[in-house]
């Protein structure tokens, strides 16, 4: 999701009530022209996903940039996606946020759950890793499974597990409200030095120009945020919400957008200020994160 026009016709972020997010943002919305700003509890800065390369930002190169700190579209010569090609994959496998954290002795995880059929498809070569799971697995960090989801250690992309029950056939997946999922997300994240969650259904809704889906997604996301903030210790860690590229903030097109994307940074003010210093494009995110995880002496 990017920072789109403040237009209720095309941009669900301009119209859908998101009381938890708006409280955090001091009543503001995530739309073009608002960033940068700071409130009592958050900073929001605009990040450039275009990175000086022609064409619309794409997922593989955008995500690779987010987790490597390199300008991957420039290395590849184009915005590429959705899955990494050989060049993008090689950049991710060479060095990334998660590999660095593991090498420095920190615990990191991707909190998305993947169904058994995903692992089968990867194993048989029918499916390629997208950039984020590739970064994790190349760091030797296992992806989370249906068993992790059932134990409350991993999360479905809709957070409620309804999709796992209805579409993936996991009839016993525990149903959660978004708020419950958010509280649990905070507990699980607290057991790692860095926890990552990949929320891709907003991109899907954008490609389908699905206004109702977009509304539900934002309502769910706001509920999750509310639950998460209930239990999050803002002195102990930052929450970063960001994106690889815009899409759902402009439902007048089914394509990605060239809009800046938001980096919403929630936590204690000194931590936030340290995080956002010099943060202006996607390639700055990994260095911003890693300054909080020094080599252990
Ligand atoms: Zn997309």
| Per-residue model confidence (pLDDT) at position 230 | 96
Reported as a single tens digit per residue, the pLDDT across 200-249 is 999 999 999 999 999 999 999 999 999 999 999 999 899 999 999 999 99
Interhelix angle for 59-68 vs 86-94, to 10°?
10
pLDDT in tens, 140-154: 999 999 999 999 999
Across the range 18-42, mean pLDDT stands at 96
Are 31 and 6 contacting, i.e. CB atoms less than 8 angstroms apart?
Answer: yes
Average pLDDT over residues 180-190: 97
Domain ranges of the chain: 12-290
The distance of Cα 227 from the centroid of its chain, to the nearest Å, equals 17
Distance 80 CA to ligand 1 centre (A): 11
Indicate the pTM of the whole model: 0.97
Cα(110) to centroid of ligand 1, in Å?
20
The pLDDT of residue 121: 98
Residue 36 has what pLDDT? 96
Residue 36 preceded by cis peptide, ω within 30: yes
Q: Give pLDDT tens digits for 57-111.
A: 999 999 999 999 999 999 999 999 999 999 999 999 999 999 999 999 999 999 9
Q: What does the alpha-carbon distance between residue 11 and residue 5 come to, in Å, rounded to a whole number? A: 7
CATH number for the domain whose boundaries are 12-290: 3.40.720.10
Which tokens hold the place of 97? 């946020």
Q: Report the C-alpha gap between 266 and 232 in whole angstroms.
A: 10
How many A from CA of 157 to the centre of ligand 1?
Answer: 15
Distance 204 CA to ligand 1 centre (A): 7
What separation in Å is there between the alpha carbon of 203 and the centre of ligand 1? 5
pLDDT-based confidence at 296, cuts 50/70/90?
Answer: confident
In angstroms, the CA 217 to CA 12 distance is: 10
CA of residue 172 to ligand 1 center, whole Å: 30
Q: Are 269 and 76 in contact (CB under 8 A)?
A: no
pLDDT band with cut points at 50, 70 and 90 for residue 38: very high
């Amino acid at each position: 999701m990017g920072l789109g026009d403040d237009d209720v016709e095309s941009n669900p972020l301009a119209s859908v009530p998101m009381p938890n997010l708006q409280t955090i943002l001091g009543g503001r919305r995530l739309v073009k022209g608002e960033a940068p700003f700071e409130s009592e509890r958050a900073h929001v800065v605009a990040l450039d996903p275009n990175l000086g390369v022609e064409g619309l930002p794409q997922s593989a190169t955008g995500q690779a940039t987010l987790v490597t700190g390199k300008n991957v579209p420039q290395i590849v010569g184009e915005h590429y996606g959705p899955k990494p090609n050989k060049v993008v994959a090689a950049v991710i496998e060479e060095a990334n946020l998660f590999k660095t954290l593991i090498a420095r002795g920190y615990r990191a995880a991707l909190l998305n759950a993947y169904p058994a059929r995903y692992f089968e498809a990867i194993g048989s070569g029918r499916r390629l890793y997208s950039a984020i799971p590739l970064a994790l697995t190349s760091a030797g960090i296992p992806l989370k499974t249906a068993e992790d989801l059932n134990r409350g250690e991993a999360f479905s992309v809709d957070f409620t597990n309804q999709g796992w029950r209805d579409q993936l056939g996991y009839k016993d997946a525990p149903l959660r409200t978004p708020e419950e999922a958010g509280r649990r997300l905070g507990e699980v994240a607290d057991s790692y030095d860095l926890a990552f969650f990949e929320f891709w259904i907003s991109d899907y809704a954008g490609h389908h120009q699905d206004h109702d889906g977009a509304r539900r997604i934002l309502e769910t996301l706001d509920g999750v945020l509310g639950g998460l903030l209930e239990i999050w210790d803002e002195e102990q860690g930052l929450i970063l919400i960001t994106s690889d590229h815009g899409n759902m903030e402009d439902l007048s097109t089914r394509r990605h957008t060239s809009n800046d994307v938001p980096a919403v940074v929630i936590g204690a003010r000194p931590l936030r200020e340290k995080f956002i210093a010099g943060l202006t494009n996607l390639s700055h995110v990994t260095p911003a994160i890693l300054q909080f995880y020094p080599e252990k002496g």
